[in-house]
Amino acid sequence: MDYSTLKGLLAEVFDLFPDEIRALTLYPNYYQYLLILRTVLPYLQEDRKVLDVGAGAGVIPLVLRKAGYECSAIDTWIEYSKEYSNRMGIKKDIIERLERNGVQVHYCDIEKEVLPFKDCSFNIVLLLDVIEHLHNSPKKVLKEIKRVLVPNDVLIITTPHLATLKNRVYLPFGRSNYVEFKEWYDNEPFFGHIREFTLHEVKNMLRREGFRVKRASLSNCLQFPAIKNFRFKPYQLLMSLYLLVTTIIPKLRYLMIVVAQKIESKEVLDYEAKMPIKDGAKP
């Protein structure tokens, strides 16, 4: 398996979606999908089993299934019910698309229920843009993910970075770092971001739950489409300035991607002894 193959399969998966969903949500997230696939690639040995927790529309498991890997998607898909008009489509269409293309579908509220799998069932677990939506601590979810992971295999997380440049600029001017107040206040249930994290916080929670952080980085990839076909428009000029600043200062980038490896109890103790983590420590 190579990157160019995965990139081609991503284009095939895009073709499975209606035109309006491709235009509204898939194309703007194209570079994030590529970043995830590039991150997953080193772990795609033969006979890998992949689980996408909080899968939503399941773009990545659709790609990996087309690449020949056994893939499962787990979610409640409540926010994709017809009455909520989710931009990624409706529950019925999402489930049919996943099942038609060979992705195994499982219904589960990951905050309230245990994952419906035996211990050590998967080699790769994806938690993509999920933890910021959890109404409670991610601790229970991470413990369950560790349980279903094969030892020494990996969890891959993406989530927005709380300390991004936009948030740092907003707060001194009295703007909240959270979602717009009206959107949160007037919507019940609320499906937006409950709590975003710093990179240090994500590393910390993973180490506490028995994972070795193999790789952690910040990316600007979600901003790339905004300056495609550049014209001297105010928004594109502002976004170009943002990309320039965050290229010079990577800690101000928006998207976090972390690869963590499941390690056993004795290894956890040895690992923590070598790398003590203290609340409030410098990232």
How far is 154 from 145, CA to CA, in rounded Å?
10
Q: What is the pLDDT of residue 270?
A: 56
Q: Is residue 230 part of a domain?
A: no
Q: Is residue 38 part of a domain?
A: yes
Rounded to the nearest 10°, the torsion over CA 126, 256, 227, 5 is -30
Q: What order do you get walking across the sheet with 49-53 strand by strand?
A: 104-107, 70-75, 49-53, 122-128, 149-160, 255-262, 211-219
Report how many domains make up the chain: 1
- Residue 153: CATH number of its domain: 3.40.50.150
Q: Is residue 281 part of a domain?
A: no
How far is 262 from 149, CA to CA, in rounded Å?
7
- 10 Å Cβ neighbour count for 148? 21
Q: Which of 264, 248, 251, 177 is nearest to 219 (CA)?
A: 251
Element (H, E) at 209: none
- 10 Å Cβ neighbour count for 275? 11
Q: For each successive 10 residues of the chain (283 residues), what is the average pLDDT?
A: 95 97 95 97 95 98 98 97 93 98 98 97 98 96 98 97 91 83 86 94 96 95 74 77 89 96 70 46 33
Give the residues across from 159 on adjacent strands: 256
Q: Is residue 272 part of a domain?
A: no
Q: What is the pLDDT of residue 274?
A: 52
Q: Is residue 229 part of a domain?
A: no
Q: Is residue 35 part of a domain?
A: yes
Q: Which of 57, 67, 48 is nearest to 8 (CA)?
A: 67
| Angle (CA) 106 112 115, round 5° | 40
Expressed as residue numbers, the domain containing 20 is: 3-161+194-223+255-266
Q: Is residue 174 part of a domain?
A: no
Report residue 26 as tokens. Answer: 């898939």
> Are 55 and 73 in contact, with CB atoms under 8 Å apart?
yes
Q: What is the pLDDT of residue 267?
A: 60
How far is 54 from 75, CA to CA, in rounded Å?
5
Q: Is residue 275 part of a domain?
A: no
